[in-house]
Structure 1
């Protein structure tokens, strides 16, 4: 099964076909954010970040989850400040086995394409890695 970018606005989203218990998606995402390559910004740990997302979900934010073989292997937040038509892409994390394989770029391009289909025309990559990828693929204008 190929990589797929799935938007969620709750950690209870039924995107995994086979789960062993409630909260499994949240646990798997938390593990991605504890990986060495994860970008959690100024937050102290993955639980702080997941709490931030739970609050942001209530205000319309989305998290895109990169699914491969029914497992989350990548995540990124897609935030809307509600004042402009710009989406902020932030907090990219990848499963360690997928680092340096180009999957991060493919995943971000998938998220970009899904948001463009919704009518979004401007993006603000907050993380350095996201900015680099979006610049390389000319998904944003570098000034």
Structure 2
């Protein structure tokens, strides 16, 4: 929302956003589709693979209410008939670092963008949990104000960033 407001105010020329936006006001290109994965610390007692209903037996660690990844997770859970309240316990924290820190300390299961936990998965401080009947993908869009005279420049920047 802050990025879209900055675009509208003319403070920035383009943005990469994870949220939905008014397609009538902005031109956009798909930047990437990113998976959100379930992770936990290596000492957390949870199987490496389970169903969504089995997952509901464990603590979950989530970002604050207005965080994009949390809204996406809540929407996907709702599609399956669940809410965050179905988990027996929830930790709600204000930053990605706090979510990762709690997960690394075996405090529960977190749902995070796979790219944001690549390092921790590689170095073994987090492990991935495969939820057999549940997957979350979300699009990131590169966008700018509709009708901008810099459209050609923005598409060049987009192409450079994609490489």
TM-score in terms of structure 2 length: 0.25
Report the structure number with the largest CA radius of gyration.
2
Choose between structure 1 and 2 for higher RCO, CA contacts under 8 A separated by at least 6 residues: 2
TM-score in terms of structure 1 length: 0.28
More strand by share: 2
